[in-house]
Amino acid sequence: MKQMIGRASIRLEKDVYIRSSASIVGKKEGEGPFGSLFDMVGEDDLFGCNTWEEAESTLQKDAVSLALGKAGLKPEEISFLFAGDLLGQSIATSFGISSFGIPMFGVYGACSTCGETLALGTMAISGEHAERVVCVTSSHFASAEKEFRFPLEYGNQRPLSAHWTVTGSGAFVLDKERAEDARAKISGITVGKIVDYGLKDSMNMGACMAPAAASTIQQHFQDFGTGPEEYDKIITGDLGRVGQTVLIDLLKERGYDIGSRHMDCGIEIYDPNTQDPHAGGSGCGCSAVTLSAYILRRLEEKNWKRVLFLPTGALLSKTSFNEGKSVPGIAHALVIEGL
Amino acid sequence: MKQMIGRASIRLEKDVYIRSSASIVGKKEGEGPFGSLFDMVGEDDLFGCNTWEEAESTLQKDAVSLALGKAGLKPEEISFLFAGDLLGQSIATSFGISSFGIPMFGVYGACSTCGETLALGTMAISGEHAERVVCVTSSHFASAEKEFRFPLEYGNQRPLSAHWTVTGSGAFVLDKERAEDARAKISGITVGKIVDYGLKDSMNMGACMAPAAASTIQQHFQDFGTGPEEYDKIITGDLGRVGQTVLIDLLKERGYDIGSRHMDCGIEIYDPNTQDPHAGGSGCGCSAVTLSAYILRRLEEKNWKRVLFLPTGALLSKTSFNEGKSVPGIAHALVIEGL
């Protein structure tokens, strides 16, 4: 095939452009290091809704509206929507984006979903099946705790290896053409596979996801014939402090030293000294809002030229956890370059 | 774009081939009208596993193995896997197909997921991003009842408008090239959007999904400039008896009479006189196993030349239902032709 390289990668013949993007977050995220960079910060995490799930749906809807608005586009000008979230049956998405009336593909890759939507959206444009697509993902601390762990009212204690799910949504308009105000371009994709090291601790998802991140990064280097030095940053979604050390060690064993270039959205999004996030932030909103608010800005400001962006997902549910299953991981990588 | 037509459709420049497929079902499905056509019928619905979820994972794994085996292909020869199921966080998929080591995209579209995987898989090949892909979906009566309704032990009564979730998995190998023993070809796609008529009855999902099916069929006719007469059959996934009448009425109002050509996998898969399925079968296994075992066979035997195949999905979760939300629908359509 003209664009497929190696086992799991696509080198685009023609780059796909990130034309616009938007990020909306909750109060805690607004108080973190990227606080001033987000497009909107909620005053309280219900965002005027009656339930956490409705609040998360509102985040998605507003993020898509804002991203479209920035690009001056109407929903009718978008070919397809690629969307997902963490909740069972992806209900934040189902009730968030239906009013746009855009033909849509629902996607599930746990916290890797942001990478998955961007990969599929890029492929739709690169394969000449779409002019423009929107990719959106979200997560919400309270809906995720309810979905995966304990009701908030229970007030459970969390081990230091646990993550804090980011309340936020990031939306991206991908475009075949380079508009004047385009933010960046996507030039390559490496699609992840499910990697299961047999870890079962749902309060240590960084360790569960790190082997998948290592697998995708190694595959990426092999497929593209490159190494860490090609990238100003190698950015994982939400490995957190525990997962970061596991990832760096795993890749060192395989001959790649990414220590000086690695960044993790989950580590950066909260201040560890004042915000008590434990291992770091997580959720498919985490990588999405960090990409929109921070990473694309660094590329626009020419601080960085090229990054490898790979949201990481932990594949578990309440049911699989209660049945004693392990927590496999998956990570999808995108090469994102400044213009 | 060279392949995009109308608002939501893709007419392929070069057809994509269904090279092989496999269907595995439970005992009840094996006793139904298509019983002798399925590749494998389980003796009991645990399939040798300890939990319903593990059983469903086994179905997916075995369906993929069988489809690959029929085509004489190894997992390494498959570029991407598109997979999904109905369970929260798609755990049947996560634990079903990881051992193949194929780069994978997790997909969620409720019972429309079979159509969504086939659409995305077709686009990956047609866009020259893959040589060969596998698309697989599953559902399981017992895991679905637990996920969406009541534990089986509770012995709840079901209204006549309720569906019986099909225990089964269907897998399809899509190929860029036409192998000698290829089963059929895919020549067009219409991507569905979420349609919400505000219905809230999770025991009448046929009525909830019918508006989405009507929307996709109408959009398909508009985009392709065709009508019902172009198809030997217009085949929905799992509208059941209630949904079928709603669909036919809705399309009649819009000027399309599909009454004589409509078929629903959910209606056909069980014998209403002896199997007591109420409205009909449902689940993302329902359309998948019917496509593999029955529809492709009718095309191979030249009984039919061209069908419009559109699995239909009801977008709800326990949580959305308990919070009083409606049940929106979505349906993705594929034009499938005999060779």
Q: What is the DSSP string of B254-296?
A: TT---TTTEEEHHHHSS-TTTS--TTEEESHHHHHHHIIIIIH
SS3 A287: helix
Task: Tell me, yes or no, whether A197 and A169 share the same domain.
Answer: no
Q: How far is CA B195 from CA B128, B210, B216, B220, B286, in A?
A: 31, 9, 10, 15, 21
Q: Among the three residues B144, B175, B206, which one is the final residue of a domain in this structure?
A: B175
- C-alpha distances (whole Å) from B232 to each of A137, A233, B256, B261 are 39, 55, 15, 6
Whether residue B323 and residue A53 make contact (CB cut-off 8 A), yes or no, is yes
- Considering the domain architecture, whether residues A169 and A197 belong to the same structural domain is answered as no
Let me know if residue B98 belongs to a domain: yes
Number of CB pairs, chain A paired with chain B, less than 8 A apart:
192
CA–CA separation, B97 vs B203, rounded Å? 31
Give B-chain residues touching A195 at CB under 8 angstroms.
98
State residue A218's pLDDT score: 98
Closest-CA distance, A181 to chain B, in angstroms, reads 22
From B222's Cα to the closest Cα of chain A, the distance in A is: 15
CATH of the domain at A290: 3.40.47.40
Asked whether the beta carbons of residue B102 and residue A193 sit closer than 8 angstroms, the reply is: yes
Confirm whether pTM is higher than 0.90.
yes
Determine whether the interchain pair B320/A95 forms a contact, defined as Cβ–Cβ distance below 8 Å: yes
Contact B91 A1 (CB under 8 A): no
- CA closest to A86 among chain B residues: B89
| Same domain? A257 vs A167 | no
Residue B88 sits at the chain A interface (C-beta within 8 Å): yes
Residue-wise pLDDT tens digits, B204-245: 999 999 999 999 999 999 999 999 999 999 999 999 999 999
Q: How far is A55 from chain B (nearest CA, A)?
A: 13
Q: Report the DSSP beta bridge partners of residue B6.
A: none
Question: What distances in angstroms separate CA B129 from CA A124, A214, A266, A293, B101, one per listed residue?
Answer: 10, 23, 31, 30, 18
Interchain proximity A106–B109, CB inside 8 Å: yes
In this prediction, residue A3 carries a pLDDT of 84
Q: Tell me which residue has tokens 């309704």.
A: B149
Residue A327: give the domain boundaries.
184-337
In chain B, how many domains are there?
2
Chain B touched by A52 (CB under 8 Å): no
pLDDT for position B127:
95
Q: What pLDDT does B40 receive?
A: 97
Is there a domain that residue B110 lies in? yes
Please indicate, yes or no, whether residues A44 and A82 belong to a single structural domain of this protein. Answer: yes
CA distance linking residue B258 with residue A310, whole number of Å: 46
Distance from the B295 Cα atom to the nearest Cα atom in chain A, whole angstroms: 24
- Look-up: residue for tokens 């380079």? A178
**pLDDT exceeds 70 at position B144:** yes
Burial of A322 (0-12, 13-18, 19+ CB in 10 A): exposed
- Decide which of A133, A153, A175 is a domain's last residue: A175
Q: Are residues A161 and A200 in the same domain?
A: no
Quick one: pLDDT at residue A190?
A: 98
- What residue of B is the nearest CA neighbor of A90? B108
Do B106 and B227 belong together in one domain? Answer: no
Q: Is A96 on the interface with B (CB under 8 A)?
A: no
B324 touches chain A (CB under 8 A): no
Compute CA distances B140 → A245, B12, B278, B282, whole Å.
Answer: 40, 33, 17, 10
Q: How far apart are the C-alpha atoms of B144 and B86, rounded to whole Å?
A: 7
* A106 Cβ under 8 Å from any chain B Cβ: yes
Same domain membership, residue B274 and residue B235: yes
Give the pLDDT confidence score for residue A181 in this predicted structure. Answer: 95
CA distance B203 to B218: 26
Let me know if residue B180 belongs to a domain.
Answer: no
Q: Are residues A189 and A166 in the same domain?
A: no
Are the beta carbons of A4 and B53 separated by less than 8 Å? no
Q: Kindly report, residue by residue over B272-319, the tens digit of the pLDDT.
A: 999 999 999 999 999 999 999 999 999 999 999 999 999 999 999 999
pLDDT at B315: 95
Distance from CA of B78 to the nearest CA of A (A): 9
Over the stretch A148-161, which tens digit does the pLDDT of each residue have?
Answer: 988 888 888 888 99
pLDDT tens digits, one per residue of B160-206: 999 999 999 999 999 999 999 999 999 999 999 999 999 999 889 99
Give the pLDDT of residue B1: 54
Which neighbouring-strand residues pair with B282? B165
* Distance of residue A335 Cα from the nearest chain B Cα, in angstroms: 16
Cβ pair A278, A163 in contact under 8 A: yes
Contact (CB<8Å) A330/B147: no
Residues A302, A189, single domain; the answer is yes
Instruction: Find the CB nearest A317 among B91, B116, B320.
Output: B91
pLDDT at B3: 83
Contact A123 B119 (CB under 8 A): no
Residue A16 at interface with chain B, using a CB cutoff of 8 Å: no
Beta carbons of B325 and A87 less than 8 Å apart: no
**From the candidates A86, A105, A219, A332, which should be mutated to test the interface with B, based on the most B CB atoms within 10 A?**
A105
> Token match 């909103």: residue?
A285
Q: Least CB-CB distance to A106: which of B1, B108, B319?
A: B108
CA A282/CA B199 separation, integer angstroms: 34
Residue B93 phi, psi dihedral angles, 5° rounding: -70, -50
Mark which of A149, A175, A201 sits at the end of a domain: A175
Give B224 to chain A, closest Cα distance, Å: 15
Residues of chain A with pLDDT below 50 are: none
Structural domain includes residue B181: no
- For chain A, how many residues are written? 339
Residue B2's pLDDT is 66
From chain A, pick out residues whose CB is under 8 angstroms from the CB of B76: 7
The Cα of A274 is separated from the nearest Cα of chain B by a number of Å equal to 32
**What DSSP assignment string belongs to B132-175?**
EEEEEEEE-HHHHHHHHS--GGG-----TT-EEE--EEEEEEEE
A91, B316 contact by CB (below 8 A): yes
Tally of CB atoms within 10 A around B150: 11
> Which residues in chain B have Cβ-Cβ distances shorter than 8 Å to A196?
98
Res B263 pLDDT > 70: yes
B259 vs B195, B220, B235, B246, B251, CA distance in Å?
22, 17, 11, 11, 9
% pLDDT > 70, chain B: 99
Helix (H, G, I), strand (E, B) or coil at B51: coil
Residue A26 host element (H or E): none
Q: Nearest Cα to B300, choosing from B288, B309, B292?
A: B292
| One domain for residues A110 and A163 | yes
Q: Looking at residues B141-159, what average pLDDT do you find? A: 89
Are A83 and A165 found together in one domain?
Answer: yes
For residues A161 and A192, membership in a common domain is answered with no
